[in-house]
Amino acid sequence: MEKYLVYSFGFQPMSDVAADVLCAMLAEVGFDSFQQTDEGVEAYVAQTAGVEESVVSELLQLFPLPDVQVSFSVSELENRDWNEEWEQNGFEPIVVPGLCVIHDTQHDVEPQPYDILIRPRMAFGSGTHETTSQLVELLLREDFSQRMCLDMGCGTGILAICMALRGAKQVVAVDIDEFSVENTRENCELNHISTVDVIHGDASVLSQQPPINIRKGATPFGFDFIVANIHRNIIIADLPQYVLHLNRGGRLMVSGFFTEDIPAVQQAAEQLGLQLIHQQSRNNWVVLVFVKK
């Protein structure tokens, strides 16, 4: 079984925002599961991921909330099946009244028009974060009939599943984490979704020739709609790839950053010919929608 380390982080003062920000940052360097505590966050990383304490210390120097002090300690976990532990514990169902419910196999839920079953295991993005929940609401109110869609940084595959449920002709889901790739495939099967193709890699895989891991008969890689729920810096770095593979008139929906990050993301997008057509926020977490003219 995989051996894990647990990093115990403490915040002064403690806040849900600080916990969410830190989890998003840690996910980018290899941490694959998180649990919020009264004092802060417990974050789990496989020893084989090669994440050194020095990497974590350097990351904390970039923590964007200057009024929050962060400390941490690290210890080795006993050797047991943490995937099974995560699955048994599950997560609290996420309900958007009159629209959808996202839940695991551990909870009974009230029926909604869209019932999405997720076995999150250790993949990032069960739907509890403000960015994911906002995106789910927006996507499930959209008509994707016959459209080609891309979910960058798919995590558990929630957003890809939403687009497939709303009629997408094909969804390509991409994640740099192999476990997330496996988890997205599993969750698509749980929801009887057959129009999602999952790829391991970053945005550069969109330009690989020939494309990899695409089911026979699928049509890569010109998209009518792209969604990316990732850190601001990664979104800005990957914008050229998104624009290259976004059809004219297509839309790009991005999230995973704060209201104060809007100018940087908007400027980078507009320099590549995108136009901002919608923005919204919840608890300072932003969703921006651009169109390619």
In this structure, what CATH number is given to the domain that contains residue 67? Answer: 3.30.70
| 57 belongs to a structural domain | yes
| 119 belongs to a structural domain | no
| 181 belongs to a structural domain | yes
Those residues whose C-beta lies under 8 Å from the C-beta of residue 37, and which sit 6 or more positions away, are: 8
| pLDDT per residue as tens digits for the range 191-204 | 999 999 999 988 98
Considering the domain architecture, whether residues 283 and 145 belong to the same structural domain is answered as yes
pLDDT of residue 257: 84
pLDDT of residue 36: 77
| 93 belongs to a structural domain | no
Q: In the listed set 32, 57, 80, which residue is the last one of a domain according to the structure? A: 80
pLDDT of residue 260: 87
pLDDT of residue 84: 59
Residues in the chain: 293
pLDDT of residue 169: 93
- pTM for this structure? 0.74
- Distance, in Å, from the CA atom of 172 to the CA atom of 245, rounded to the nearest integer, reads 12
Percentage of the chain surpassing pLDDT 90? 48
pLDDT of residue 126: 43
Inter-CA distances, 264 with 47, 115, 221, 268, 284, Å: 35, 36, 27, 6, 16
Considering the domain architecture, whether residues 144 and 22 belong to the same structural domain is answered as no
Domain count, the chain: 2
pLDDT of residue 38: 84
Considering the domain architecture, whether residues 144 and 244 belong to the same structural domain is answered as yes
| 113 belongs to a structural domain | no
pLDDT of residue 106: 73
Inter-CA distances, 25 with 4, 20, 63, 89, 189, Å: 19, 9, 8, 24, 29
Which three-class secondary structure state does DSSP give residue 227? strand
pLDDT of residue 90: 61
* Helix pair 16-29, 53-60: axis angle to 10 deg: 130
Considering the domain architecture, whether residues 52 and 179 belong to the same structural domain is answered as no
pLDDT of residue 80: 52
What DSSP designation does 272 have?
Answer: T
| 122 belongs to a structural domain | no
Tokens for 15, please give them. Answer: 């806040």
What DSSP designation does 204 have?
Answer: G
Q: Which domain holds residue 211?
A: 138-292
Considering the domain architecture, whether residues 74 and 148 belong to the same structural domain is answered as no
Tokens for 90, please give them. Answer: 């599950």
Buried b / exposed e along 3-41 (16+ C-beta atoms within 10 A): ebbbbbbebeeeeeebbbbbbbbbbbeebbbbebeeebb
Considering the domain architecture, whether residues 146 and 258 belong to the same structural domain is answered as yes
Q: In the listed set 53, 80, 107, which residue is the last one of a domain according to the structure? A: 80
Residue ranges of the chain whose pLDDT lies below 70: 1-2, 78-91, 120-129, 209-221
Considering the domain architecture, whether residues 159 and 283 belong to the same structural domain is answered as yes
**Residue 4 near residue 54 (C-beta atoms within 8 A):** no
| 206 belongs to a structural domain | yes
Which three-class secondary structure state does DSSP give residue 155? coil
| 194 belongs to a structural domain | yes
CATH number (domain holding residue 262): 3.40.50.150
- Distance, in Å, from the CA atom of 117 to the CA atom of 102, rounded to the nearest integer, reads 6
Considering the domain architecture, whether residues 171 and 76 belong to the same structural domain is answered as no
Q: Among 82, 114, 119, which Cα is nearest to 95's? A: 114
Q: In the listed set 13, 46, 80, which residue is the last one of a domain according to the structure? A: 80
Considering the domain architecture, whether residues 156 and 64 belong to the same structural domain is answered as no
pLDDT of residue 128: 46
Considering the domain architecture, whether residues 60 and 198 belong to the same structural domain is answered as no
Give the DSSP H/E element, type plus range, for residue 255: strand 246-258
